[in-house]
Structure 1
């Protein structure tokens, strides 16, 4: 027995001519930097803004800007909603930066504002390069495949960490790079190792896996004959490792992904999905006794455990932090945990750092990803492309939900992945838009 027959996958993406580097090539290098190189490694003088992926993101912005020098090379070839969206986001960051520079900032906060500005420029660059630079659906499929391959790689690292406690990523060394923070061994919860692979925390790792799960499912469902095992492998790895993060954010992300993707599947696919999840739960209960029970306890204790209470208390004190600067905030990157407190909610942190304007911009970023993906699905008549659009919508929905559970912009892998998905959705919208329509 197996899944019903599906339309054939798109033809393999055509690589650029030998010696030519296109936007997809640059984005592919960015994906490698994002998933393979541990985010804890940085170029020392740049601090947290100096991760290889962060530097590559800023280079993406430089690539995009330099390509607009001539009409022949410019990537701007018609309407692209992602452009005004990221411009709005950038303006909110600049307004918050100007507001921060208008008051006497302690040294650490001034450094944080500079670092935040650099990070935001990189996110904008990744989104723009993907939205305007991906030339075809085949090349967009290449980006998706490489993202999923990166997800499979970090899932393998996470499995090793969970079962052995050995953090391979923490024992790597890269010439010219140093660790941004003191080395931390694998974290634990309820005596279970909590893997983080090349991410900076198990929560980030779990959310990233949940964002990549719909994209992996798309590739597996529409895989060509003879390539199905290779396509389903990362799906299996992600689904097995995701619960091992022992993170409610990861479980929430998996549920959100399912709620978005399952309704568009045929009834038989949904039945198979429920059976697979059930069998996976039974298998994990047998192989890792106590893990499913721990996750169930974490979910059922929401509202009463210390982690939830801490997050709830954030709402009680947030008014005092917002009141002095409600419109543009105190400066992106200036609300330092060691100076103030940890806000495990990116929406609250955005409200403090960039004010109501910044919160609006963030909501527009996340909401536009969903809306554009849905519009791309509606515009296309190809079943494979329609499914891809829904899977990208699911990835953005996972991000939107997870941002309420942790300060996502403090975690480079999650933040960069969000803007890369936004850019890919912009490319998908552009490539499915009927000719002649603005």
Structure 2
């Protein structure tokens, strides 16, 4: 005698992700376009929303959404807090779009509203494709290496600009692309060349380097012996280019990286790091006299310089604009500097453009990225994955703090890389969570299961 259930053929569980490699490839292409092509070059008819990276990010989002229709795409059907955070952010952008359409808009504001919707869609797609598509440690490590390699390339370009005053815009000619705004990759400050490389502004470039630095540190610390020198050279190059931006935001990012990452190392590694920091400072002082003094002066005069004064005036100005549409804002992408004013604080800009609801969604996105990365570190027993999670948490923190120091979401390279980093946070959480042994439920059935020979 046998039960009918004993003759049923058990279906094989579907794979977690039948084709994860395309997600890694798509993300790599996006990061290449994001970091190596100047963001001022756009596909002419599309305007500010037509950067190659932005257009490709929208394609990525469409590919991600189509994956939901595939019956075997089970990876993106697993519970994922970052996905919920991105959905909330997208809903807040749509709500601000609707709120913006309820008032009288200029042509420039209507264009900004449409542009903001497209750009936000690309950000969400770039984060989700990494979070849900790059679901193995080897694939995530491959993507990390590529992103750091791209970052090292622009860091090298920045160092070259610092010493030679090379203006990249004079030499780049990309068929099919045109400059959306006049562009110069070298600026001046206190007799130094303030570098921007392929970024729109030195502050943006400094934040980008700060986002990349912990990812480069992870690769150097866990590099195989034959690649160790190369990986540490990448770290040194990124770290050397960072102060050449002559930006308080960039230096604050470097400090945050050191505070978050270095304490997790062994005592021997920490001692080496302190010696290395000191040696790095001495070399920079000898090689570039006056640079470190200029940077220290930025912090010594932080309460008196014009930059700080303008930032303090931002709060009173923002209050008036915010009170007009407090809940859903004036519309994401409509607070244009040429129509209103520049606010060097993205949190204030978000309050004005997206209201309280939108501001909460932005905080939730960065908070979720931080929590997931830290949670992944606690869940995993793998030293390499634990260290990567801590480095990703550092990158997320750099991005979150930079929102308070300038209008970072208005700069395509920096904003795009922030969402890439949040995608990394979701990916490390998925990998760590899947490696945790799951308790096998105990059957409560009293019926015997008879087998046949």
**Same fold by TM (over 0.5)?**
yes
Alignment of 1:97-108 (within 5 A): 97-108=97-108
Query: What residue in structure 2 maps to residue 71 of structure 1?
Result: 71
Asked if 1:220 corresponds to 2:187, the answer is: no
CA deviations on 1:24-63 (whole Å, 9 max, x unpaired) are 0110111111111111111111111111111111111011
Give distance in 2, aligned partners of 1:228 and 1:259: 23
Give distance in 1, aligned partners of 2:246 and 2:332: 30
Asked if 1:54 corresponds to 2:92, the answer is: no
Asked if 1:257 corresponds to 2:257, the answer is: yes
- Does the 8 Å contact 2:185/2:201 carry over to 1? no
Query: What residue in structure 2 maps to residue 246 of structure 1?
Result: 246
The alpha-carbon distance between structure 1 residues 301 and 186, as it changes in their structure 2 partners (threshold 3 A), is same
Query: What residue in structure 2 maps to residue 292 of structure 1?
Result: 292
CA deviations on 1:287-322 (whole Å, 9 max, x unpaired) are 111100000000111111000111111012111010
Give distance in 1, aligned partners of 2:345 and 2:65: 33
Query: What residue in structure 1 maps to residue 141 of structure 2?
Result: 141
Question: Which has the greater radius of gyration?
Answer: 2
Query: What residue in structure 2 maps to residue 315 of structure 1?
Result: 315
Query: What residue in structure 2 maps to residue 35 of structure 1?
Result: 35
Query: What residue in structure 1 maps to residue 4 of structure 2?
Result: none
Kindly state the Cα deviation for residue 107 of structure 1 after the two structures are TM-superposed: 0.4
Give distance in 2, aligned partners of 1:412 and 1:232: 28
Query: What residue in structure 2 maps to residue 283 of structure 1?
Result: 283
Question: Could you tell me the TM-score, scaled by structure 1's length?
Answer: 0.94
Alignment of 1:346-385 (within 5 A): 346-385=346-385
- Does the 8 Å contact 1:332/1:353 carry over to 2? yes
Kindly state the Cα deviation for residue 252 of structure 1 after the two structures are TM-superposed: 0.4
Alignment of 1:376-415 (within 5 A): 376-415=376-415
Kindly state the Cα deviation for residue 268 of structure 1 after the two structures are TM-superposed: 2.2
Kindly state the Cα deviation for residue 140 of structure 1 after the two structures are TM-superposed: 0.5
Alignment of 1:171-182 (within 5 A): 171-182=171-182
Question: Could you tell me the TM-score, scaled by structure 2's length?
Answer: 0.91
Kindly state the Cα deviation for residue 170 of structure 1 after the two structures are TM-superposed: 4.5
Give distance in 2, aligned partners of 1:250 and 1:147: 19
- Does the 8 Å contact 1:169/1:197 carry over to 2? no
Kindly state the Cα deviation for residue 21 of structure 1 after the two structures are TM-superposed: 5.8
Kindly state the Cα deviation for residue 381 of structure 1 after the two structures are TM-superposed: 0.2
Query: What residue in structure 2 maps to residue 9 of structure 1?
Result: none
C-alpha root-mean-square deviation of aligned residues, in Å? 1.6
**Alignment coverage as a number of residue pairs:** 421
Give distance in 2, aligned partners of 1:190 and 1:100: 42
Give distance in 2, aligned partners of 1:21 and 1:43: 28
Kindly state the Cα deviation for residue 94 of structure 1 after the two structures are TM-superposed: 0.5
Q: Which shows bigger deviation, 29-38 or 68-77? A: 68-77
- Listed as ranges, the gaps of 5+ residues in structure 1 are 1-15
- Does the 8 Å contact 1:257/1:398 carry over to 2? yes
Match of 2:58, SS state, is helix
Query: What residue in structure 1 maps to residue 269 of structure 2?
Result: 269
Query: What residue in structure 1 maps to residue 344 of structure 2?
Result: 344
- Does the 8 Å contact 1:33/1:52 carry over to 2? yes
The alpha-carbon distance between structure 1 residues 268 and 169, as it changes in their structure 2 partners (threshold 3 A), is farther
Give distance in 1, aligned partners of 2:371 and 2:231: 28
Moved over 6 A (4+): none
Query: What residue in structure 1 maps to residue 111 of structure 2?
Result: 111
Give distance in 2, aligned partners of 1:185 and 1:147: 21
Query: What residue in structure 1 maps to residue 23 of structure 2?
Result: 23
Give distance in 1, aligned partners of 2:229 and 2:169: 27
Query: What residue in structure 1 maps to residue 154 of structure 2?
Result: 154
- Does the 8 Å contact 1:38/1:198 carry over to 2? yes
Give distance in 1, aligned partners of 2:150 and 2:341: 33
Match of 2:193, SS state, is strand
Match of 1:294, SS state, is helix
Kindly state the Cα deviation for residue 73 of structure 1 after the two structures are TM-superposed: 3.7
Match of 1:404, SS state, is coil
- Does the 8 Å contact 1:131/1:425 carry over to 2? yes
Kindly state the Cα deviation for residue 167 of structure 1 after the two structures are TM-superposed: 2.1
The alpha-carbon distance between structure 1 residues 435 and 107, as it changes in their structure 2 partners (threshold 3 A), is farther
Kindly state the Cα deviation for residue 135 of structure 1 after the two structures are TM-superposed: 2.7
Query: What residue in structure 1 maps to residue 13 of structure 2?
Result: none
